[in-house]
Amino acid sequence: MSRKYFGTDGVRGEVGQFPITPEFVMKLGYAAGRVLVDHDKAHRPTVLIGKDTRISGYMLEAALQAGFSAAGVNVLLTGPLPTPGIAYLTRALRLEAGVMISASHNPFQDNGIKFFAEGGKKLDDAVELEIEAMLEQPMATNPSEELGRVRRIEGAVERYIEFCKSSFPNDRDLKGLKLVVDCAHGATYHVAPKVFHELGAEVVTIGGEPDGYNINEKVGATYPKTLQVAVLEHHADYGIALDGDGDRLIMVDREGTVYDGDQLIYVIAKARAAKGELKGGVVGTVMTNLAMELALNKQGVAFGRAKVGDRYVLEMLHGQGWQVGGEASGHILCLDCHSTGDGIISSLQVLASLTDLGMSLADACSDWQPYPQTLINVRHNGCDWKGASAEALAAAEQALQGRGRVVLRPSGTEPVVRVMVEADDKALADQWAQSIAAAIQRVA
């Protein structure tokens, strides 16, 4: 059964446009609260609500807490805190659920609501469907004596800082390292610099002055150019770029070279495999560069491909019993450290891995160079694009055997087919991407 409101990462959209309106978000809080109460009628549930630094966070926080309270659910408010911090505290405080108000790497005009289940884990699809079914019912307020209480908790930031630090080896520190940390004017602005400073690094902070409107604006993991300039200007050893809610990581070395999620995952896996500490293999997505898969295979490390989205990477990791995975976008999962992707913790794992390997980032990634990828977005009118592209696809796969691969992926939000061809030769990738795209365009 398909979901009406929930996407792959909760409910998200432009503020003021359905579903990100105070009216709907209040009803969403009520519906989620009713589902929690129905799951355990013997105890009054408590949820944790956090947010990033968007101006709309205040409005949506008030709407959510009103909905939960009306359903008889107690609410704890953290104020601005990274998404992985909400997942951690939901588990640490033994709460029934956690909620993060954020649109991650999107601009300030967008916002969203993401739920965590008990233990800080992702919400099951079945529970999301229960919430959606409850949204179709009229909202009713509990009697006054049955309303949930709302209070702001102290020490949430400090607890999360200590949790991040605990993921770094106890017998090591970051003394002697100069780091530039880009907080994207987002939820990590009062967390990340303290983590690295308390571990001994000299820290230069950029993107650390949120005003409600500047989140992700020419800063952060989706705009590493600002970090590159700062690393070179300050003669830093590394740059660390996080996104608005702190679940993505991109890094820059002292030469100003950018390293994406695939490369950072590779460094973590390589170091763990060398020590015999990598549990199973690594999970990427259908878009993960083939060169990375081949490099891991050469080291005897298995590689699995999930659908695009950290939600699906997480599902495959759990299914395989593995621990390390992620996406080129910077979502990195180290399940022995945290139940969800965490940019700060992932950066600490990369820094620890480089120490283990005795290498720089450039040296650790020198085993492979990403194959050129050609991506063409083809608009269609609902035609049979699979049938139209079948002959060209078969020819491409035959020509690329051992040298590349093809991925055809329909967009989930618009009538577009994404044609991605990857090959060890750029001209080859261009040739076959254009061939497949032309076949679809002839019937579109």
Q: Which residues are catalytic?
A: 104
Measured over the CA atoms of residue 321, residue 322, residue 328 and residue 333, the dihedral's sign is positive
Contact 405, 373 (CB under 8 A): no
Contact 301, 278 (CB under 8 A): yes
Contact 287, 328 (CB under 8 A): yes
Interacting residues of 30 by C-beta distance below 8 A, sequence separation 6+? 67, 68, 70, 71, 134, 139
Length of the chain: 444
Contact 185, 216 (CB under 8 A): yes
Beta bridge partners of 203: 179
| Other Cβ atoms closer than 10 A to 173 | 13
Number of H helices, E strands in the chain: 14, 18
Beta strand pairing status for 373-379 and 416-423?
Answer: antiparallel
Q: What is the DSSP letter of 88?
A: H
Beta strand pairing status for 373-379 and 324-326?
Answer: unpaired
User: Helical H runs in 218-338?
Assistant: 225-234, 261-274, 290-298, 310-320
Distance CA 37, CA 214 (A): 38
Beta strand pairing status for 324-326 and 303-306?
Answer: unpaired
Structure-block tokens of residue 364:
């650790």
User: Helical H runs in 309-384?
Assistant: 310-320, 343-357, 361-364
Closest alpha carbon to 33 in 148, 152, 150:
148
Contact 201, 179 (CB under 8 A): yes
| Other Cβ atoms closer than 10 A to 301 | 19
277 — phi, psi (to 5°)? -110, 10
22 — phi, psi (to 5°)? -60, -35
| Other Cβ atoms closer than 10 A to 358 | 9
Distance CA 64, CA 22 (A): 8
